[in-house]
Structure 1
Amino acid sequence: MLRKAMGFMVSNPLSGVVGVLALIVVVASLLSENFLNSYNLVIIARSLAFIGMITIAQSMLMILGELDLSLGAIGGFCGVIGGILMVKVGLNPWLAFALCLAIGALFGLLNGLLVTLLRLPSLVLTIGMAGVYGGLNLVITKGVAITGIPADIGFLGSGKWAGLPVPFWIMLLFLVVACFITLKTPFGRYMYAVGSNLSAARMLGIRADRVRLGVFAFAGFLAALAGMLMVARLGSAQPSIGDSWVLGPIAASVIGGVPTTGGIGTPLGAIFGAAIIGVIENVIVLLGISPYWQSMVSGAIVVIAISLDSISRRYFKRD
């Protein structure tokens, strides 16, 4: 029975993660009477919006068999650049917003170029690039927030539509875009082929490096979007934006059925994984447990998720 249950969840990761999320929501509602009130659900949705964009980006990279640990740093750095353009340069806030999205895509493209041209493992390279982007952030700001962000873009970060935060709707929009790309286009099929076997994909005539560059650029774009929406939300460009957007998206993707080995999974499953982590962290706060436990819980979820993914796939491959 246990083997059949595990087999079903490995072969149908989306159904498994949805079931786990439903169970956690039921338990959370029993543990705290405030969990299902509208105010708390809006908090969860807003938190999911920002980490969700990074999760979408990371899941697409993981389908390729890649990782980018600099996405949080890209988001924070683009937020700082946006703050400088709007406050110190006096550029139109909407133009500054758009320019920062383009800059984020360029940073992602740069990461992809270094990975493809130097043939370096993306994990190692992007750790270094995270230091570069984060260091530039601190050099420019000296650790001081840039305040006075124009109110014109404030709605994008703190506004609501149909009772839910605007960033949440924006995240859903790009989730639909990501799912369409991965599941309904030739480019998406190339992504899965490259993630399954890079050498075989090249032998089939797939321009694997172009596919990788495109996904890295799109990931950088989403990271910059998350950073700029956070700037709009806070009304200031904080140098610390993006610091917590590193391990969570990886864990969420693995929980949602996107293994670190690449070739399978969907961004939708990754978002359900992010929702699971978000609900758990929210319950910790509602129960009055010290916030210092959140970091430990997040780290433990990463270790458990990756370990279970590795163990289950080795087991069923051998079986």
Structure 2
Amino acid sequence: MDLYKFYKKYGLFVILAIFIVVFSTLNTQFLTPGNLLNILRQISMFGIVVVGYTMVMISGGCDMSVGGQLALCGMFAATLNVTYGLPTFVVVILTLMLGALFGLINGLLMNVFNIMPLIVTLGTMLFFQGASYIISGGVAIFGLSDSFKFIGQGYLGFVPLPIVILLVIGVLGYIVLHKTYFGRQIYAMGGNPEAARLAGVNIKKYRLAVFTITGILAAVAGIIMAARTGSAQPSAGASYPFDCMTAVVLGGVSFAGGSGSMLGAMMGVIIIGVLNNGMQLIGMDSNMINCVKGIVLLIAIGIDSVQRTGKKAKKV
């Protein structure tokens, strides 16, 4: 078995096992049930966004604005709940609609002006982040209702509700991506856009769809994050664009599009969650954590590049 096949089959499990051994050796609290549950809580919001991000990357795009969308949707939901006193159900519906609008705007800008996804979403990232600070005046919004906070702090039986939401969205994302006609078209447009277009795939329509889905899921994560912390922060989700990219590429989704799986991306989420939690437990400061995550992102992209080069060589 060559190195490529070994990594494809066992690589993620090996990486996860190494991190677990290292962090459990350095801190005895790492493998305690309480901390493992905390890791699952921490990755619930991140994982929800990654479900949409996976579809975007397999379609051949990327979305650097997911963190800004999350923050602005969280501020919007908190404002509706605290300032205007709207019931939680109404707040959730309106916030999901706003997230869909943000995703739709990203897709429309790409379709109408024929601009690369990276450029469009870098621009909207700055807009969403700036709007979050303008709306909040740069300060957090507190005073959320108990029913709203239940979304992030409540339990379904003995399982925290955010984890349940992640499981439901993850399963739905897997079904949509791997078991439907819609998912097959996403793979087709990411693998070879021109061939997909000639085969009758409406590239613009599917691009709108995947970015709209990602916007909705960013809104879901923004609601959960505000509910879990009991406040909406204008800086929420600042690291999400790069964390999502790292998890998805590490999980085997090609940076060039057209290949990868939802299960692989979810494994990437778990690895990044373990890495974040472990580094915090052993006392690394935020700057060092960012350095390590930057190295992991470069390694993930490097692995993806080697894999794509190997595939091309085999075809030749």
Fold in common (TM above 0.5): yes
Q: Secondary structure at the match of 2:29?
A: coil
Tell me how far apart the structure 1 counterparts of residues 262 and 109 of structure 2 sit (CA, whole Å). Answer: 25
1:6 is matched with 4
Tell me how far apart the structure 1 counterparts of residues 276 and 219 of structure 2 sit (CA, whole Å). Answer: 24
- Measured after TM superposition, the shift of residue 299 of structure 1 is 1.3
**1:161 paired residue among 153, 156, 162:** 156
- Measured after TM superposition, the shift of residue 69 of structure 1 is 0.4
Tell me how far apart the structure 2 counterparts of residues 281 and 87 of structure 1 sit (CA, whole Å). Answer: 31
- Measured after TM superposition, the shift of residue 38 of structure 1 is 1.2
Residues 119-268 of structure 1: pairs in structure 2 closer than 5 A: 119-268=114-263
Tell me how far apart the structure 2 counterparts of residues 283 and 75 of structure 1 sit (CA, whole Å). Answer: 24
Question: 1:74-106, CA deviations, whole angstroms, 9 ceiling, x for partnerless residues?
Answer: 111011111111111221122011110111011
In the alignment of these two chains, the number of paired residues is 314
Residues 62-77 of structure 1: pairs in structure 2 closer than 5 A: 62-77=57-72
Tell me how far apart the structure 1 counterparts of residues 223 and 237 of structure 2 sit (CA, whole Å). Answer: 11
Tell me how far apart the structure 2 counterparts of residues 316 and 192 of structure 1 sit (CA, whole Å). Answer: 17
Q: Secondary structure at the match of 2:213?
A: helix
- Measured after TM superposition, the shift of residue 26 of structure 1 is 3.5
Residues 95-106 of structure 1: pairs in structure 2 closer than 5 A: 95-106=90-101
Question: 1:192-227, CA deviations, whole angstroms, 9 ceiling, x for partnerless residues?
Answer: 000001111111111121111111100000000000
Please say if residues 50 and 230 of structure 1, whose CA atoms lie closer than 8 Å, have aligned partners that are also in contact: yes
1:292 is matched with 287
Tell me how far apart the structure 2 counterparts of residues 282 and 95 of structure 1 sit (CA, whole Å). Answer: 34
2:56 is matched with 61
Please say if residues 77 and 133 of structure 1, whose CA atoms lie closer than 8 Å, have aligned partners that are also in contact: yes
Runs of at least 5 residues in structure 1 that lack an aligned partner in the other structure: none
Tell me how far apart the structure 2 counterparts of residues 165 and 297 of structure 1 sit (CA, whole Å). Answer: 29
**1:108 paired residue among 69, 92, 103:** 103
1:312 aligns with 2:307: yes
Question: 1:16-75, CA deviations, whole angstroms, 9 ceiling, x for partnerless residues?
Answer: 313432343244333332111111011101111111112111111000010010011011
Q: Secondary structure at the match of 2:163?
A: helix
Please say if residues 46 and 244 of structure 2, whose CA atoms lie closer than 8 Å, have aligned partners that are also in contact: yes
Q: Which runs of 4+ in 1 moved over 6 A?
A: none
Tell me how far apart the structure 1 counterparts of residues 290 and 284 of structure 2 sit (CA, whole Å). Answer: 12
Please say if residues 284 and 291 of structure 1, whose CA atoms lie closer than 8 Å, have aligned partners that are also in contact: no
Tell me how far apart the structure 2 counterparts of residues 32 and 216 of structure 1 sit (CA, whole Å). Answer: 40
Paired residue type of 1:7: K
Moved more, 126-135 or 21-30: 21-30
Q: Secondary structure at the match of 1:236?
A: coil
Moved more, 161-170 or 135-144: 161-170
Please say if residues 76 and 242 of structure 1, whose CA atoms lie closer than 8 Å, have aligned partners that are also in contact: yes
**2:88 paired residue among 71, 93, 113:** 93
Tell me how far apart the structure 1 counterparts of residues 159 and 212 of structure 2 sit (CA, whole Å). Answer: 29
**1:78 paired residue among 68, 73, 77:** 73
> Percent identity of the aligned residues?
39
- Measured after TM superposition, the shift of residue 252 of structure 1 is 0.4
Runs of at least 5 residues in structure 2 that lack an aligned partner in the other structure: none
Q: Secondary structure at the match of 1:246?
A: helix
Question: 1:255-305, CA deviations, whole angstroms, 9 ceiling, x for partnerless residues?
Answer: 100011000111221111121111122222222333432111111111111
Please say if residues 49 and 167 of structure 1, whose CA atoms lie closer than 8 Å, have aligned partners that are also in contact: yes
Question: 1:156-189, CA deviations, whole angstroms, 9 ceiling, x for partnerless residues?
Answer: 1012335432111111110101100010000000
Paired residue type of 1:292: N
Tell me how far apart the structure 1 counterparts of residues 78 and 148 of structure 2 sit (CA, whole Å). Answer: 12
Question: 1:140-171, CA deviations, whole angstroms, 9 ceiling, x for partnerless residues?
Answer: 11101111111112121012335432111111
**2:23 paired residue among 23, 28, 50:** 28
Tell me how far apart the structure 2 counterparts of residues 93 and 259 of structure 1 sit (CA, whole Å). Answer: 38
Please say if residues 70 and 130 of structure 1, whose CA atoms lie closer than 8 Å, have aligned partners that are also in contact: yes
